[in-house]
Amino acid sequence: MTPAAATDRRHYLNASYTAASWLFTVDHKRIGILYLLSVTFFFLLGGAAAVAFRLELLTPAGDLVTAETYNNLFTVHGVVMVFFFLIPAIPAVLGNFLVPLMIGAKDLAFPKLNLTSWWLFMIGGAITLGAVITGGVDTGWTFYTPYSSTYANTSVSTAIIGVFLTGFASILTGLNFIVTIHTMRAPGMTWFRLPLFIWAHYAASLIMVLGTPVVATVLVLVVLERSLGLGIFNPNLGGDPLLFQHLFWFYSHPAVYIMILPAMGVVTEIIAAFSGRRIFGYKFIAFSSLAIAGLGFLVWGHHMFVSGQSMYAGIIFSFLSFLVAIPSAVKVFNWTATLYKGQVRMLTPMVYAMGFMGLFTIGGLTGLFLAAMALDVHFHDTYFVVAHFHYIMVGGAVMAYLGGIHYWWPKITGKLYHEWWGRISAVVIFLGFNLTFFPQFLLGYLGMPRRYYAYPEEFQVLNVMSSAGASILGIGYLIPLVYLVWSLKYGPDAGPNPWGAKGLEWETYSPPPTLNFDTTPVVECEAYDYAAGEMAPELPGTQGHGSSTSEEAGSSEP
Amino acid sequence: MSPEFALMPEQASSVSAEYDALLFTEIGISVFFGVGICLAIMFLAWRYRAGSEVDRSDPPEGDMRLELLWSGIPLVIALGLFVWSAKLFITMRTAPKNAMELHVIGKQWMWKIQHPGGKREINELHVPVGKDIKLVMSSEDVIHDFFIPAFRVKMDVLPGRYSMLWFKPIREGTYRFFCAEYCGTSHSKMIGRVVVQSPADYASWLSGGGNNEPPEVAGKALFESFRCGTCHREGLTGRGPVLDGLFGKQVRLAGGGMVVADENYLRESILDPGGKIVEGYQKLMPTYRGQIGEEGLMQLIAYLKSIAPDGKQPEEKR
């Protein structure tokens, strides 16, 4: 189909320009955009907090800010990045936009719930930010009791209420995806024809729906103990502080999979598209997502090896934690095998996906160190843990999120960004990330505990390296912000399928019309139905992208 | 405790060397797989770059043997690592019998330590080299964590219960310890140093000024001032179980069940007497919560230990 110029065709972006048409929209694509703007704001906010405490950590002494401010900074960074960026980022932005498009539906099953989800998210975010501004929050994102429930003098309850509301935003998104995927697939779209992005979101949605109520409950209990003196966690009131940790991690460990499963889904789509072939081991990738979601609920105790949990419970949790590594490894091997006999194009989304594979592999392997109880005794609550989960959440989830934004940007906006700047940003982020977080593995091994405002001077060299890396990483994140915004006005029109990718979302216009498809698509082939040796079309209007693509396009016919 | 730049912490306890052996084994395995995957990705991405002239006939859609191979091999390796780490963990958690017992109390934001003879110190821990040392720890407020990197040991210190940590220093010297569980404003100031001395130096340090009475002596005084013996004695007037020789024994509870009379059970019975009543007794004892502090509790329990006939430690179960 040849798209008419974006200006004279009606699509979801130009359907109406009023503020109300955005704030009260029930179009999943517009809600995706609302989420995109919101999580970008929260990402910048959480990033700014990180910049501030990385500056503080340049010197061993606490000198730039006070200890209270420092504790507020890392709490804001953690709360905002976990609850207001990482958990919603891929599902609520890309998932919202793409789940209906990919399965050939007009919208999600419950468009109004979807809008409610965004409003809850924003109200929760406003309340939590209000708590941060008025009284501060200094508990860390983990809200450990009895510090949070009795001793902290900051606006803990208010912040928790904000997080609580946001949890419901997440539940509604998960519920919507599950029902949509079950009931609204286009004719012919069988379960095993679904893109693996959908499988990953399905698995993550199960966690959102089953896990989030638990953290919501436990957070309410903290508020009750704080405000009414109900003895739940504080032993002086007859409570048990470990109860909090069990309930908190029962959600918060699976929450890692809410972040990483959709990321894996994004990477799977990108690797298939830019290898120009069907994904290797489709069913293994699909079922490994479900295996991760299921096993993920049984490993929370590995956060508690030195907490006072019984030694025997620790041994079982350790065993299960080793098991959960296997489905993740299976995915990495299958992605790698997909490159074999493909037509690999190293365009921006693929560079991000490659970065994801490298960083996620390091994050996953260092996770095995922490699953090993004996090693965790020393590493627990040190910078080793900080480095490990940043490799998973930033190196993994954020790289995939950015890769996904770049991959679907032409679909979302109808525009192409500058290809070379895209690749540069991916490389700068990859390098800056490693310089920031690799030294933290060494810091942790040397024994530097996390959440330290001041530290002994033998840790300074590695901390300076980490702060230097953070400045590069920060710049790396700003580059896409500039050229993506620039592309909205000056970028060339993308056309419906600039990458030559397969999938229903590429068969409609860019940007798609409000109801997604002119006629309901009928699916007659498997996902990733790339013909062997088929070459993708040249990207229109991009400068200097892979000359090899054009000159060798015809040379690979079987 | 060296101020210059180092890449690994000192190996100063009996478990440090095995810890590092396990760690470097895992690093070796990780580097092998990590580098292997990266090389495979780079090689395949280069060889099958778009338009390169290579054989692309019959690209496989999957391969059951490969899938089994690359789930099976990591599984076997993971299980091997699990077994090794579990064994080492059990060693790290099981204090040898007759280890020298020190009391540690954490509070915002300091560490208070008391030696068997009664000597106290703050944010410093003197120990003799080559001896098994067991720390019995509790917190007066929030959760803290006692962490000695050079010994590769760490344990949370909780309010309302005792946790144990043991180690055997093998090298004289001074090492840092940290609070590793975030505990509020001055968390990062809750640090101190472990001074590992020769037994002779430790003995002379102990005999230096500032000695307090041993905890079991202070505990006996508390036992008498609270008149615990009024009820806890033999005969018709004995309304509570006899406490001589109780520590470390199995106790049968009213309503069935057994419990070992260890530090945590005694602590619970003082603060929450109605919780686990010994078979054959009534729920009569009032709570002493609020009347007795963390130090007093440790002293009382030290006294109860001292009147157990062989003073034997219960088996470590934590």
SS3 letters across B273-292:
CCCCCECCCCCCCCCCECCE
Angle of helix A399-413 relative to helix A460-490, nearest 10 degrees? 10
Q: Which of B180, B206, B232 is the last residue of a domain?
A: B206
Pairing of strands B100-107, B133-139: parallel
- Residue B224 belongs to a domain: yes
Number of domains in chain B: 2
CB proximity under 8 Å: A 224-243 to B: 234-236, 238, 240-242
Burial class from Cβ neighbours inside 10 Å (0-12, 13-18, 19+) for residue A149 reads buried
- Residue A341 belongs to a domain: yes
Q: Which of B152, B184, B206 is the last residue of a domain?
A: B206
Tokens of A137: 């929050």
Are both B224 and B196 inside the same structural domain?
no
- Which residues on A lie below 8 Å from B53 (Cβ)? 552, 555-556
Q: From A447, which residue of chain B is nearest by alpha-carbon distance?
A: B149
- Which residues on B lie below 8 Å from A332 (Cβ)? 37
Look up the ipTM and state it.
0.89
| Residue A99 structural domain | 22-531
Are both B196 and B219 inside the same structural domain?
no
- Residue A546 belongs to a domain: no
- Residue B226 belongs to a domain: yes
Tokens of A168: 């419901």
What's the CA gap between A493 and A503, in Å, rounded?
A: 20
Q: Do B184 and A71 touch (CB under 8 A)?
A: yes
> What CATH number is associated with residue A313?
1.20.210.10
- Residue B40 belongs to a domain: no
**Mutate which: B2, B143, B194, vs A, most A CBs within 10 A:** B143
**Tens-binned pLDDT, residue by residue, of chain A (558 aa):** 444 454 578 999 998 999 999 999 999 999 999 999 999 999 999 999 999 999 999 999 999 999 999 999 999 999 999 999 999 999 999 999 999 999 999 999 999 999 999 999 999 999 999 999 998 999 999 999 999 999 998 999 999 999 999 999 999 999 999 999 999 999 999 999 999 999 999 999 999 999 999 999 999 999 999 999 888 999 988 899 999 999 999 999 999 999 999 999 999 999 999 999 999 999 999 999 999 999 999 999 999 999 989 999 999 999 999 999 999 999 999 999 999 999 999 999 999 999 999 999 999 999 999 999 999 999 999 999 999 999 999 999 999 999 999 999 999 999 999 999 999 999 999 999 999 999 999 999 999 999 999 999 999 999 999 999 999 999 999 999 999 999 999 999 999 999 999 999 999 999 999 999 999 999 988 899 887 655 655 655 444 443 333 333 333 332
CA-based torsion, A471, A475, A477, A478: positive or negative: positive
What's the CA gap between A253 and A257, in Å, rounded?
A: 7
Are both B194 and B289 inside the same structural domain?
no
Q: From B38, which residue of chain A is nearest by alpha-carbon distance?
A: A358
Helix (H, G, I), strand (E, B) or coil at B136: strand
Q: Which of B188, B206, B224 is the last residue of a domain?
A: B206
- Residue A492 belongs to a domain: yes
Pairing of strands B173-179, B163-167: unpaired
Are both B268 and B296 inside the same structural domain?
yes
Are both B202 and B222 inside the same structural domain?
no
- Which residues on B lie below 8 Å from A310 (Cβ)? 317-318
> What CATH number is associated with residue B243?
1.10.760.10
- Residue B263 belongs to a domain: yes
- Residue A2 belongs to a domain: no
- Residue A6 belongs to a domain: no
> First and final CA of chain B: distance in angstroms?
30
Burial class from Cβ neighbours inside 10 Å (0-12, 13-18, 19+) for residue A492 reads middle
- Residue A554 belongs to a domain: no
3-state secondary structure A113-167: HHHHHHHHHHHHHHHHHHHHHHCCCCCCCCCCCCHHHHHCCCCHHHHHHHHHHHH
- Which residues on B lie below 8 Å from A451 (Cβ)? 182, 187-188
Cβ–Cβ under 8 Å, residues B196 and B169? yes
Give the closest of A242, A377, A555 to B92, CB-based.
A377
Which of B197, B217, B215, B90 is CA-nearest to residue B133? Answer: B197
Number of domains in chain A: 1
What's the CA gap between B305 and B121, in Å, rounded?
A: 23
Are both B223 and B154 inside the same structural domain?
no
| Residue B258 structural domain | 215-306
> What CATH number is associated with residue B172?
2.60.40.420
- Which residues on B lie below 8 Å from A68 (Cβ)? 185
